[in-house]
A and B are shown apart, each in its own frame.
Chain A
């Protein structure tokens, strides 16, 4: 029906799906098409959420229902920016919502960052989660110590995957190549390093508790890092208070007998290191790879969430063979005609309406920056959908003229030799992965390359 309002969404992760869901639910006439670069949907739910957090992936069920709705269509294997331009999408649809997230990295910006043995957390996570672009990572896990820069939940996921017992990991959907490499890992100690102090740590309590409870591991913290913390914790809001109390307990309290026994038998060590910033990755004598990381020692100025790290001039070298930089994902611009704030690495917007660009909206990390759990993204996306719906109602977004929707896009794609993957094609990939998983005792065995995905999709 040419006269129905047609919206296209770029990116089939949680932001894209929650935006689609809210639009479809709120108006009975709106049609939504979701374009996705990869043949497979779900974005970071598939490629970011840790393999041992399957409950978090339950949102896939509600996204699947949305994709199967009669007024929603999924077009995988379409790269907006190279296969079709945003301008062409604007011509075909009444509104375009950019929800393509953050596929780049914040760099540390230090010498030695490109040595072998140094990886961005996004790439390491992509590697164990089967992101096709990261399948050739081949991290070297033959060293004893790994240092992770950053103390957010991604850093803790990496630490946990590096130190988890194999019999826990082998029942998850972690990729088999990653499992095989981790089985041979000689890493026994993981340090998770942050610029500031215990009360500025960015991770959440669930993830810290998982480290504390991780079998066959013991914590190793620096008591001096916690000076003054027990006093300061009394006045802070509940989430920060509970998290800090858990850190204090883990770092300072005399352990119970049971915990002491666990610690004495543990073969693996993990710990937070505070007040440290990376200044250089030091190479091995043959210059081929990382052998240590040089850290600047900081002191804290101010207190609470806004405290800043100030270098003292002192440095400290930590020998290690694996350096994982977990200091943030980063959105990238996909079309030079769209406004992009390179400082914040977001698309400039007001409540999801892209500035100076009528008819274009954004949701998810592209809108607000790369932080937040799935619930945050849900609210963020509903917010954008509401702005779009308001604009439809008020006439700010003109939906009276007929637009072709996907019928204006698929001929362009065909001409360019691009064949979209439909949702039913993804279901073939899904079935194949589950089938392969059964043979391995895992929920699924992911296909690891775009070629393999397309092959199964086309069969």
Chain B
């Protein structure tokens, strides 16, 4: 039995916003393999079969410690795909594997990039509501796809709860 459990899921909202190589219409059997990671170990990438070497887009990630990482992905890859494929060191990033069920892939974009990306569906906005350190130019990395117009963009990984509230050992106010 393979190490990664393939959960059957069909997320029409993702298909609506773009072609997502990582989800597949499910009628019963196999779904596109998810990205999984422990720290930096990646089992496999769902986007490998669609990659076109000439369509690479360069993006810069500023990590929580201020470190700048320059990397790239294929056109059509989501920023979550890039983090996983390039094994970027962002603990806990993408917990729900791009299914709009968490906010751990939260990224802060530059204003111009944010503006040109356009409409955000309700389901993404709903998850962004729960993100720590939400800003006016925040997006979920699993919903932002690389295209030529993102070439050279810089995205920032926001501070996590443990960065913002070190002295406070009490719980958050959101419900389970």
Once bound together, how far apart are the Cα atoms of A154 and B175, in whole Å?
A: 8
Let me know if B129 and A243 touch, CB within 8 A: yes
Once bound together, how far apart are the Cα atoms of A118 and B160, in whole Å?
A: 40
Contact bitstring A46-86, B, C-beta under 8 A = 1, else 0: 00100001111111111011101100000000000000000
Let me know if A242 and B92 touch, CB within 8 A: no
Which of B5, B91, B97, B126 is close to A206, meaning CB atoms less than 8 Å apart?
B126
B129 proximity list for chain A (CB < 8 A): 204-205, 238-239, 242-243
Let me know if A62 and B95 touch, CB within 8 A: yes
Let me know if B38 and A25 touch, CB within 8 A: yes
Let me know if A374 and B95 touch, CB within 8 A: yes
A153 within 8 A of B: yes
A139 within 8 A of B: no
Let me know if A54 and B9 touch, CB within 8 A: yes
Let me know if B1 and A427 touch, CB within 8 A: yes
Q: Please give the number of chain A residues whose Cβ is less than 8 angstroms from any Cβ of chain B in the complex.
A: 63
Let me know if B102 and A373 touch, CB within 8 A: yes
Let me know if A372 and B37 touch, CB within 8 A: no
CB of B8, distance to nearest CB on chain A (Å):
5
Let me know if B174 and A376 touch, CB within 8 A: yes
Let me know if B173 and A371 touch, CB within 8 A: yes
Which of B3, B134, B169, B176 is close to A238, meaning CB atoms less than 8 Å apart?
B134
Which of A21, A372, A431 is close to B174, meaning CB atoms less than 8 Å apart?
A372
Let me know if B169 and A25 touch, CB within 8 A: no
A24 proximity list for chain B (CB < 8 A): 38-39
Once bound together, how far apart are the Cα atoms of A44 and B5, in whole Å?
A: 18
What are 30 residue pairs bridging A and B, where the CB atoms are less than 8 Å apart in the complex? A21-B91, A25-B91, A55-B9, A57-B7, A58-B99, A62-B95, A64-B3, A64-B5, A65-B36, A68-B3, A152-B176, A153-B175, A154-B175, A205-B126, A205-B129, A206-B126, A239-B129, A351-B169, A365-B171, A367-B169, A372-B172, A372-B174, A372-B175, A373-B102, A375-B103, A376-B161, A376-B171, A379-B162, A380-B161, A382-B162
Other A-B pairs, 16, CB within 8 Å; known A58-B99, A368-B171: A18-B92, A21-B39, A54-B8, A54-B9, A57-B7, A61-B34, A61-B97, A203-B175, A205-B126, A243-B129, A371-B172, A371-B175, A373-B102, A383-B161, A386-B162, A441-B28
Residue ranges of A at the interface with B (Cβ–Cβ < 8 Å): 18, 21-22, 24-25, 44, 48, 53-62, 64-66, 68-69, 152-154, 202-206, 209, 238-239, 242-243, 305, 329, 349-352, 365, 367-376, 378-380, 382-383, 386, 427, 430-431, 441, 443
